[in-house]
Amino acid sequence: MSVAARKLYWITAAVFLMIVFLSYHKSTGPSSYPPDRTVPNDLGQSQNYDDNDSDYTSGDGDSLYTGDDKPPGGYTPAGGDKTGTPPPTTAGNTPNQPNTSGKYDTLVVIPSSWTQIQNRQWVRETVFGIRDNLEPCKKNDGNIIYRFYIYGQSTWEKSKIHSSEYNQALVRELYGEFMEYNDHYFTNATVAHKHAIWGDALDWAVTKYIPTNKIQVDKVLIFDSTAIVNLPKMEEAVKASASPSGFLRIWGTDSTTFAAMISYSAVEQILKDREEIKAGRATVDIISAASTFYAENPATFKIDRPTGQLWASNVDLVAADAVVVGEVYQLEDWRRITDKLTIKATPACAVDQNRKKNIALLTSSYIYVDMCMAEASLPSAENKRIYADRHGYDFVARAAEFAQEEHRGRRLVWGKIGAIQKVLPHYEWLFWMDMDAVIADLDKDLHEIIQFAEQAKAASGDGEVSLIVARPKRDKMLNAGVMLIKNTEWSRAFFAEVQTRAPWYLKSSYEQAAIWEVMSEDKWKSGVYLYDADDHTMNTFPKLYAEGDFVIHFAPAGCPSVPVLAALAKIKAGESALGIGAE
């Protein structure tokens, strides 16, 4: 490769990472809310966002297609108020009770490179028992709270990966993770060594996360996302050896720390001494450096350094009683080690006993390969998450069901049906919203829409409402970008029937036309309430938007990212989105 070509690649990589950073921080900055390249696939179908239904028109006459840094909030007890505020509970109560005291035994901070998406999922499952996001945390349990500290290390520079397609694939997956799991802080700092990563992570936890969220913690556990930790055993070891004056307990080798449990007072002292600790030890991780520093400058807190194992690519070499195994990068190794250690997960999420009586706002976290909605995806998810949190609803975003459609011979937008089928059994109602639909009226209660439909249905004697949809006045069928679905046998059978309508798998209008076709049949009419010729109750196109309308659905013939971002900025600032996207 020529020098000029290498320079071009490096510049491309740097510019791309800057775009990632800027677009992310547009969506995660201080909120004023209350507290075209086409890449064909094997099926010959476009994987661009433009899943447009070109043979009918929308309400505006165009072709139509269809880190937060805070602890997850919102809880609706049976008979609770609209805001879902439960009575205060404190640390030490049963994990079935949400912790509203703000007091935790342990804050777990997990530094992780932005590319280590799979490692983070392994940590969620192994350490915290989180297998998926179908039932997301609404409150943390009474003992622990965790956050991933994700940093934007320029991995492709180190590994000489200069492909923009590779970087885009990672960013699409990363953004999907950000939408699906509200358990991270992301910084784009490019770092060279663990001293800076872990030091910055601890500094963020103490100076930003803890005070911003008004919580108290007794101790901090920090470990890399490539380390397998047995949290119950770590807690037992600390309880047995903790000192009243504080403690620093380190698991690792003589030169490298894999994990450390630190009393809060000791964390504060380490950060206070950080520059002195760093002097002459800048390439050593901050915990190991602190251990050396305090050996020379005795600390008031106790320091222990039990053995941690470095993964040596042979599970037989892992001690059955190992508490920490460091630098595990492959899933097959992770599984073998965790099976041998029989690690018991420590639940990070309270059990929501009322979840099946609740509503979940469900949306897509899938970003098409044309990157059309990449910049708008996170702000759009934030808008929906804030709305759900305000009303005590769950927020669920799904990408896997869209991705699998590529292998099923169908347009990717059919993933919407699969996502509905997967999430529906966990809730009483689902509120589906396309990614390009945004909530303009954050005070609107979904129960108002549901109650009106149920009362109208009861008056007509047609039966129970299981599906609530709207048909815009100038459209020949419903718009499937916004739907309410009740968890009933009718709904489960209805969407199973929709999945069988093969003529619409690749034909324009896709899943939307399939839904319309099924709901128009006599067999299924009884379960549907249709807001007919209605452009304002559930789903409003930009040209028809009026102040007070609930949802604005940006459904142009091309990419909707620009008007979506513009509208979200207005809504976030408490201003009117009138006229945006109406050109």
Q: Residue 450 is part of a domain; what is its CATH number?
A: 3.90.550.10
The H or E element spanning position 450 is: helix 446-460
- Sequence-distant (≥ 6) Cβ neighbours of residue 515 within 8 angstroms: 469, 478, 480, 498
Establish if 382 belongs to a structural domain: yes
Give DSSP secondary structure letters for 349-396.
B---TTGGGSEEEEEE----TT-TTHHHHHHHHHHHHHHHHHHT-EEE
Establish if 560 belongs to a structural domain: yes
Distance CA 542, CA 555 (A): 8
Establish if 83 belongs to a structural domain: no
Same domain, 311 and 204: yes
Same domain, 369 and 436: yes
Same domain, 358 and 334: no
Closest CA to 263 of 300, 292, 306: 300
Domain containing 313 — which CATH number?
3.90.550
Establish if 577 belongs to a structural domain: no
**Which pLDDT tens digits describe the chain residue by residue (583 residues)?**
454 544 444 444 444 445 444 444 444 433 434 433 233 333 334 455 654 443 333 333 332 222 333 333 332 323 333 333 333 333 333 445 677 788 999 999 999 998 899 999 999 999 999 999 999 987 777 789 999 999 985 544 444 444 566 678 888 999 999 999 999 999 877 666 777 899 999 999 999 999 999 999 999 999 999 999 999 999 999 988 778 899 999 999 887 899 999 999 999 999 999 999 988 776 678 999 999 999 999 999 999 999 899 999 999 999 999 999 999 999 999 999 999 999 999 998 888 878 888 999 999 999 999 999 999 999 999 999 999 999 999 999 999 999 999 899 999 999 999 999 999 999 999 999 999 999 999 999 999 999 999 999 999 888 899 999 999 999 999 999 999 999 999 999 999 999 999 999 999 999 999 999 999 999 999 999 999 999 999 999 999 999 999 999 998 668 999 999 999 999 999 999 999 998 7
Q: Which of 291, 308, 341 is the last residue of a domain?
A: 341
Domain that holds residue 228: 103-152+188-341
Q: How many domains does the chain have?
A: 2
Establish if 250 belongs to a structural domain: yes
Sign of CA dihedral 333, 339, 343, 347: positive
Q: What is the pLDDT of residue 21?
A: 47
Same domain, 485 and 430: yes
- Answer for the pair 90, 158: CB distance below 8 angstroms, yes or no: no
Same domain, 360 and 270: no
Q: Which two tokens stand for residue 518?
A: 């099924």
Distance CA 76, CA 89 (A): 15
Count, in order, helices (H) and strands (E) of the chain.
Answer: 18, 20
Same domain, 368 and 458: yes
Same domain, 208 and 254: yes
- Answer for the pair 409, 421: CB distance below 8 angstroms, yes or no: no
- Sequence-distant (≥ 6) Cβ neighbours of residue 526 within 8 angstroms: 462, 463, 464, 490
Establish if 75 belongs to a structural domain: no
**How crowded is residue 10: how many other Cβ atoms within 10 Å of its Cβ?**
14
Same domain, 329 and 390: no
Q: Which of 286, 306, 341 is the last residue of a domain?
A: 341
Establish if 10 belongs to a structural domain: no
- Answer for the pair 278, 290: CB distance below 8 angstroms, yes or no: no
* CA-to-CA dists, residue 563 to 171, 200, 220, angstroms: 22, 36, 43
Distance CA 48, CA 46 (A): 5
Q: What is the pLDDT of residue 82?
A: 36
Same domain, 243 and 380: no
Q: Which of 341, 371, 398 is the last residue of a domain?
A: 341
Same domain, 534 and 408: yes
Q: What is the pLDDT of residue 471?
A: 97
Same domain, 55 and 109: no
Establish if 82 belongs to a structural domain: no
**How crowded is residue 204: how many other Cβ atoms within 10 Å of its Cβ?**
18
Same domain, 555 and 497: yes
